[in-house]
Structure 1
C-alpha cells in the first residue's frame, strides 16, 4: 500500500502539491497574489525581449526600472510611428519601375502604315458627289499659280502618245516640256480678286446642300482651309473606291533584301488620308504569324519606293505632298494622323527604330487596362488608349447626336449644315476635351513603343535614275511617264526605309514597391531595431497578458464565491 499513489482527498496535507504539480499551474484560487507574482517572475526570467523584463523585474532598483520604462515607451512610440507609416504606404500600393536592356537574336518587326497625304484621286471623282471639288482648283487659280487638268495630260494619256519604242526598235525622243499657261484667271491692277466684296460669307445654315463645295469653300474663313477640309467627309466605301490604290502607290518593296510587293500590304481606311496600307498587320495575318528580323542597318528592314501621283491631288484638300508613316505594334490599330512621320518626295527618308516594351500593373497598384468591353472590340485589335478614346467619342456622338465624325464605327456622318447636329457635336467635343464623357480609357497594361530616328538624303541620284526607270517602267505605266522627266520624278517618288538600329530593346517593368513579404520583413526589422523583439517575442507578450487576465478573472470568481458562502 505504501507504494501506491494516495487519493489526495484522503491526504489533505498533499492536496496543494497535487493541484500544483499534477496540473502544472499555480493555485490562483487560493493564492491569487502569489500566482500573479509567479506569472510575472516566469515572464521576466524567460522572455526573449529586452526592455519589458527590465521594467517588470522587482529585484531591480526603482530608478533603473523607471529608466527602462521610459526608454521602452519612447522606442515603442518610434516603432509605432514608423510601422504605421509603412502600413499606410502599403495600403496606397506604391510601385517602382525597373528598366533593363534585353538583347535578342531576332525581333518582331513592327507594323508600318503608309498613307498618301492626298485623300481622293481627282480622276475618279467624275459622276460622284465630289466632282466639283476638282473644279475648285481651276476656278480659283490665278495667272502663274496652280495648274489645270490640261497641264497634266501627259500623266493621264496613254503611253503611246509619249513616245517610247518605235516599230523599228529605235527609241523616239519624249517631249517633257509642259504648257506655259498656269491658269485662266488673270490678275491685273484693277482686279478686285482680293476685295471683301468678291466673297459674301453667308451663315453656313443658308447652305442647303451639304455637297455644295463652292459655297462651303467661300464660307471657309481659315487661311489654310483646315475647316473646309472638315466639311469633306467621305464614307469608308467612298474612300476605298476613290482613294489611291496599293498597286499604283507601292512601286518597289524589299524586306531584309528579299523581294515583296503591294500584295504584302493590307488596306485600312483613315478619315484623314483615305486608303492607308499596312505592312505586317497582325490582325490580317490572323495574329499568330509574325514577321521577325535578325538584321540591323539601313540596307535591311523594309525598303519602299512610293509614287504620290501628284496629278491626282486635290489642291484645296492636300496642301502638302508626301507620305505619312506610322510605326506601331502589329496588334494595335494605327492612327497615322496622330503620331505619323512625313516623308517628302525626291527624298530618301531613313527611319531607324528602337523598341521599348512597357509592362504596367493593374488594380490595386495601377489603373491600366487589358481590354475594354464598352468601346473596344478585342477580337480585332489589342487594347490601346488612343483607340479607346476615339471610339468613346464616336460612340457618344452616335448616341447623343445620331451621327459620327469618323469612320471608326458605322453611322451617318454629321452634316455641317445641320444646326441641331452642329450644336450637339460642339457640346460633345467640349465635354470630351474636359474629360466629362467618362470614357474610362487608361493606359494599356502591356504595349510596345518604337522610337524613331530620322535621316534624309537626296534621292534618286542622277546616275541611278536610268536604273530606276529600267525597273519601274515595267511595273507601272504611270511611273514610266513620270520618270521621263526629272522634275516630275522628284515631285512624285518617295523612297522610304524602316529598320532596326540594334537587336535589343528597352524593357520597362512596373512592379510593387512594397509586397506582403517585404511589409512583414520591414515590420520585423523595426521591431528588432527599436524594441529588440521578434514575432516570437510578441507572441510571448500576448501569452503573458493572457495569463494575467486569466489570473485576474479567477480571482474575481473566487471573491464572488466567498461572498455568497459568507452571506446569511
Structure 2
C-alpha cells in the first residue's frame, strides 16, 4: 500500500501566525468596554440606527460643552487672579519704627549772618522788617518791631559753627544763600530775582505768575542745594540745642542715638532707631511708657522770614527707608505735649505672574533709587524714591540739569547725565548742574513741562512695589505743655544752656511721645486666587460631568495605545520574516 503525505515545511521551523486581531478590532473592543459614558453606547446599539445617532449627538453635545467650559477655565487661570487676606495677630514683640525729626526752619539766621558781612546782616534785618510792614500796610503809620535780641548762647553757638566755614568757597556759597534770603524776606519780586522777561510753558502755565514768595522760596532752595553737605549742616539747627531731653522706654537716650542728614527743604534732620549699622529697637508692650519721649527746643529767634510756621515735623517710617518729611510728616506745634500712637501694618505681596512686586537686590536698588547714596544714609528701595528718581532722570535728560529737590549725583542718574552730555545740554558728565528754577527762563520752562507731563502720567516709570513692606498708621492728640507746676523745672533745665524766660520757653519747647497703641500686627496678604491645583480640579470635574471621563479612563486610553503599538510591532516583525523566508520544499513519503 502506498501512502503519500504532503506538507509545507518552513525551513526556520516557525509556524505562522500573528494573532491579536486588527487595529480596528482593538479599537472596537476598547470602545465597547470603556468607562467613558456615551462612546460605549454608540457601539452597543449598532443594531439600532436611531439610538446610535442619539448617542452620537449626546456625545458631541457633551464634547462641545466640555470645550466651552475648559476654555473658560483656561481664561480664568491665565488672568492670574489674586485675593487679599487680612489678619490681625497679637505679637509678643514688635520692631519700633524709625522716627525722623526736623525743625520747620532749615537754617539758623545767625549762621548765615556770621558767614557774611555785617552790612549783609543789617540788610537781612531791614528786609525782614519790610516784609512785615508790607503785610500790615493797611494800617497807616504803624511802626512794627520784628526783630528780637539774640540769645547770648545762640550767638556763641553761631560763632563756634561759623569757624567751620572759613574757606573762600564756603563764604561765597553762603553769601549766595544770603542773597537769596534777602530776596525772599525783602522785595521778593521778579526784578529782585533778575527776571526780566515773561513767558508761558507748553503746559499753558504762566511760569512768572507765581507769587513773589514762591519765586523767592525757589531761589532759596536753589542756593541751599548748591551748598555741600558740610556747609548745609553747619548752618542748620544742631542736636545740642534741639534735643533737651530724650528717653526710650524710661531709659535716657542722647544725640548719639540719632543719625543726622540734611533735607533739601528742612535742613538738618535726625533719625532715631534708623537701623543703620545699629541694632533695631523693639517694644514688648503698648502705651506711652514703652515708647520714645522727646523734649525739643526749636529756637524761634533763629528762624528766617521764609519760615512762616513754627514747630517740628515728625516722620515715622521703616528702617533704612528715606523719610520724605514734606509729604508724610506729622506737624508738632510748640507749647504742646503731642502723643502719637501708632499701629503697624504689613503688606505681603506676590510676584510675577500674579503680581508686580519685586524683591530688590542691592545692585538693583542702586540702579533705581537715587536716594541709595543720599548723604551717609543707607536707603533701601521704595516706590516713592523710585518715582522721584524717575522724574529727576527725565529732567536731566531733557533739561541738562537736576532739580534741586532731588539728589543730583547718583549711580541711578549716571545714564541720564550721559544722555544730556551727548545732547550738548551739559558740559560735564560728572559735575551735576542744578536747575535754576527761580531765575533761568530756560530751566523754568523745561522743568515745568516735564513736571506737567509727569502729573498727567505721560512719563512711564517702572517702579514696582516691594514684596514685603511695613507701614505705620498714627493717631495724634495733644495738650498744653508744660503745666504750670512743671514749667519752672523746665525753665531751670533750659537755663543751663540758653538764656530764656517763661514766655520765650513756651514759644520754643514741646514734648513728643511716639508709642504703639497696642501690640497687634495687621497683615494684608495677597494670595493666589486660582492656582494650578484649582485648574486641575475643575478640569477633572468638567471631564467627569460632560463625558464621564476620569483618571481611570485616561489609563484605559494609555493601555489602548500600548496595544496598538504592540500590534504594529508584531506586524512589522511578521512582514520582516516574510521578506526573508527560506524556500519551501515539498516532501513526498510513500507508505510501504
Q: TM-score, normalised by structure 2?
A: 0.73
What's 1:446 paired with?
Answer: 468
What's 2:64 paired with?
Answer: 77
Aligned pair partner of 2:398 in 397, 400, 405 = 400
1:357 maps onto 2:346 in alignment:
yes
Q: Deviations over 1:176-232 (max 9, x none)?
A: xxxxxxxxxxxxxxxxxxxxxx99855965469xxxxxxxxxx98656933421221
What's 1:195 paired with?
Answer: none
Aligned pair partner of 1:348 in 337, 342, 352 = 337
Cα separation, partners in 2 of 1:199 and 1:252, compared to 1, 3 Å: closer
1:114 maps onto 2:97 in alignment:
no
What is the alpha-carbon distance in structure 1 between the residues aligned to residue 87 and residue 8 of structure 2?
Answer: 78
1:141 Cα deviation from its structure 2 partner? 2.5
Aligned pair partner of 1:232 in 216, 220, 240 = 220
1:154 Cα deviation from its structure 2 partner? 7.4
1:493 maps onto 2:509 in alignment:
yes
What is the alpha-carbon distance in structure 1 between the residues aligned to residue 250 and residue 144 of structure 2?
Answer: 40
Over aligned residues, Cα RMSD in angstroms? 3.8
1:522 maps onto 2:538 in alignment:
yes
The question of whether the paired residues in 2 share the 8 Å contact of 1:137 and 1:146 is answered with: no
The 5 Å alignment of 1:277-296 reads 277-285=270-278, 289-296=279-286
The question of whether the paired residues in 2 share the 8 Å contact of 1:239 and 1:269 is answered with: yes
What's 2:73 paired with?
Answer: 86
Instruction: Give 3-state SS (helix, strand or coil) of 2:394's partner.
Output: helix
What is the alpha-carbon distance in structure 2 between the residues aligned to residue 494 and residue 8 of structure 1?
Answer: 119
The question of whether the paired residues in 2 share the 8 Å contact of 1:362 and 1:369 is answered with: yes
What is the alpha-carbon distance in structure 2 between the residues aligned to residue 399 and residue 221 of structure 1?
Answer: 26
What's 2:172 paired with?
Answer: none
1:257 Cα deviation from its structure 2 partner? 0.8
- The runs of 5 or more residues in structure 2 that have no matched partner are 1-6, 137-141, 158-186, 198-206, 410-431, 575-592
What is the alpha-carbon distance in structure 2 between the residues aligned to residue 139 and residue 203 of structure 1?
Answer: 14
What is the alpha-carbon distance in structure 2 between the residues aligned to residue 389 and residue 419 of structure 1?
Answer: 26
What is the alpha-carbon distance in structure 1 between the residues aligned to residue 558 and residue 10 of structure 2?
Answer: 36
The question of whether the paired residues in 2 share the 8 Å contact of 1:332 and 1:384 is answered with: yes
Q: Deviations over 1:17-72 (max 9, x none)?
A: x421xxxx21x3xxxxxx52453133322x12222222232457443333333333
What is the alpha-carbon distance in structure 1 between the residues aligned to residue 289 and residue 129 of structure 2?
Answer: 43
What is the alpha-carbon distance in structure 2 between the residues aligned to residue 199 and residue 271 of structure 1?
Answer: 21
What's 2:132 paired with?
Answer: 141
1:456 maps onto 2:478 in alignment:
yes
The 5 Å alignment of 1:48-67 reads 48-58=35-45, 61-67=48-54
Cα separation, partners in 2 of 1:145 and 1:221, compared to 1, 3 Å: farther
What's 1:177 paired with?
Answer: none
Instruction: Give 3-state SS (helix, strand or coil) of 2:289's partner.
Output: coil
What is the alpha-carbon distance in structure 1 between the residues aligned to residue 156 and residue 260 of structure 2?
Answer: 28
Aligned pair partner of 1:367 in 356, 364, 376 = 356
What's 2:296 paired with?
Answer: 306
What is the alpha-carbon distance in structure 1 between the residues aligned to residue 543 and residue 451 of structure 2?
Answer: 56
The question of whether the paired residues in 2 share the 8 Å contact of 1:328 and 1:449 is answered with: yes
The 5 Å alignment of 1:413-428 reads 413-415=434-436, 416-428=438-450
What is the alpha-carbon distance in structure 1 between the residues aligned to residue 535 and residue 470 of structure 2?
Answer: 32
What's 2:239 paired with?
Answer: 246
Instruction: Give 3-state SS (helix, strand or coil) of 2:368's partner.
Output: coil
1:44 maps onto 2:66 in alignment:
no
1:123 maps onto 2:113 in alignment:
no
- The runs of 5 or more residues in structure 1 that have no matched partner are 1-5, 29-34, 160-197, 209-218, 559-568
The question of whether the paired residues in 2 share the 8 Å contact of 1:39 and 1:547 is answered with: no
Cα separation, partners in 2 of 1:199 and 1:459, compared to 1, 3 Å: closer
What's 1:173 paired with?
Answer: none
What's 1:384 paired with?
Answer: 382
1:382 Cα deviation from its structure 2 partner? 1.6
What's 2:588 paired with?
Answer: none
Instruction: Give 3-state SS (helix, strand or coil) of 2:32's partner.
Output: helix
Instruction: Give 3-state SS (helix, strand or coil) of 1:225's partner.
Output: helix
Aligned pair partner of 2:554 in 538, 552, 556 = 538
Aligned length: 483
What is the alpha-carbon distance in structure 2 between the residues aligned to residue 8 and residue 254 of structure 1?
Answer: 111
Q: Deviations over 1:73-114 (max 9, x none)?
A: 323222222211221222222222222123321111000011
Q: Using CA pairs below 8 Å that are at least 6 residues apart, which structure has the higher relative contact order?
A: 2
Q: Deviations over 1:308-349 (max 9, x none)?
A: 11111112x111111111101012111111111111111111
The question of whether the paired residues in 2 share the 8 Å contact of 1:367 and 1:443 is answered with: yes
Instruction: Give 3-state SS (helix, strand or coil) of 2:486's partner.
Output: helix
